[in-house]
Amino acid sequence: MHAVQFKSFGSPTEVAECVELADPGPLAADQALLAVEATPINPSDVLTLTGQYGTLPRLPATPGNEGVGRVLAVGSDVKNVRVGDVVLLPVGTGTWREKIAAPAARLIPLPTSADKLQLAMLAINPPTAYLLLRDVVELKPGDWVVQNAANSGVGSYLIALAKLRGIRTVNVVRRESLVEPLRAAGADAVVVDGDDLAKRVAQATAKAPIRLAIDAIGGESTMRLAQCVAPGGTIANYGALSGQACRVAPQDLIFRQVTLRGFWLTKWFTSATPADQQAVFGELVKLMVDGTLRTRIEATYPFAKIKEALAHAMRPGRDGKILLVAAT
């Protein structure tokens, strides 16, 4: 089978290689053999290849944290999935490969009628958006939330999920061309980032108090979000697209009592109860099947073209996700 591997950390397009590996060996009684049909390239994958992510694998390793697959075979004790089922791949199992043997208990069956490319992106960005809205600050209908990187995968899901709850969003982007597409997608307000961001956010919201800001960028972008929230507000940071540490001015931290906290989905996976995880994913699957949750896809690549896929995923100004798909 084809699989992506890397033996050292460095520039993703240099260290990632498509290699031939043996198919997974005989299945254990509790395992299922899966054909990977689609798996996305996420910012966390790129950071893993460069050696900058919070947790790093032992090398050599296969990247990839999520995706969708089809069951090819099951062990003798497996009852929850059958051959032919479409399933969500277990998170963090090195999904950039054509086949995976996984514990069947970790598999979540999915509707066969749904778009598999959209399903492949179910495990990370949608729950991140869902939990940022649910768990950081207690929000009620009519409240405002401000987020940067609003055209990202998490950003687009957050707009849709907030609208379902009656929460209004101010969406910060880096170029004017993104304003109208986000408005068409349901954003209540869209503003282009800049030094006077707080003033323009106040104008867009009629100076409504904003208690939650969601930051995917870090650096000066975090500081500008801190100026947008009300006294006592919270900034939840879940990424560092700028490659810079989050910055918040002392006057916001001390005198306006703004809080900066981090969010890491992996932590939720390790601490949430199985019932909570099932409830969250059950709701998200329904919303993805009915089309409420969708994100833009810019291109797909076979595993053999991993270098081209990574170069595209890291391209400035990209306006959609890049996925690796099974060769046809």
Higher confidence at residue 280 or residue 274? Answer: 280
Q: How confident is the model at residue 311 (pLDDT cuts 50, 70, 90)?
A: very high
- pLDDT of 3 strictly over 90: yes
Domain membership of residue 314 (yes or no) is yes
Indicate which residues carry an active-site annotation: 53
The whole-number average pLDDT for the span 158-162 is 97
**What pLDDT is attached to residue 328?**
67
In this predicted model, what pLDDT tens digit does every residue of 206-239 receive, in sequence order? 999 999 999 999 999 999 999 999 999 999 999 9
Q: How confident is the model at residue 325 (pLDDT cuts 50, 70, 90)?
A: very high
Category of 106 on φ-ψ map: left (φ > 0), alpha (ψ -120 to 50) or beta: alpha
Domain that holds residue 112: 2-121+295-325
Do 129 and 114 lie in one domain? The reply is no
Angle at 232 between CA 230 and CA 234, to 5 degrees: 85
Domain membership of residue 285 (yes or no) is no
- pLDDT of 13 strictly over 90: yes
**Least confidently predicted of 72-81, 206-215, 257-266, 268-277:** 268-277
Q: How many CB atoms lie within 10 A of CB 84?
A: 9
**What pLDDT is attached to residue 197?**
97
Q: How confident is the model at residue 74 (pLDDT cuts 50, 70, 90)?
A: very high
Domain membership of residue 284 (yes or no) is no
Do 53 and 143 lie in one domain? The reply is no
CATH number of the domain at 44, please.
3.90.180.10
Do 131 and 261 lie in one domain? The reply is yes
Q: How confident is the model at residue 327 (pLDDT cuts 50, 70, 90)?
A: confident
* Mean residue pLDDT across the chain: 95
Domain membership of residue 289 (yes or no) is no
- Contact status, residue 133 vs residue 162, Cβ threshold 8 Å: yes
CATH number of the domain at 141, please.
3.40.50.720
Which amino acid, one-letter code, is at 38? A
- pLDDT of 130 strictly over 70: yes
In this predicted model, what pLDDT tens digit does every residue of 37-53 receive, in sequence order? 999 999 999 999 999 98
Domain membership of residue 129 (yes or no) is yes
**What pLDDT is attached to residue 117?**
95
Q: Name the domain count of the chain.
A: 2
Do 144 and 116 lie in one domain? The reply is no
The whole-number average pLDDT for the span 94-99 is 97
- pLDDT of 87 strictly over 80: yes
Q: How confident is the model at residue 32 (pLDDT cuts 50, 70, 90)?
A: very high
pTM equals: 0.90
Q: How confident is the model at residue 93 (pLDDT cuts 50, 70, 90)?
A: very high
What is the distance in angstroms between the CA of the first residue and the CA of the last residue of the chain? 14
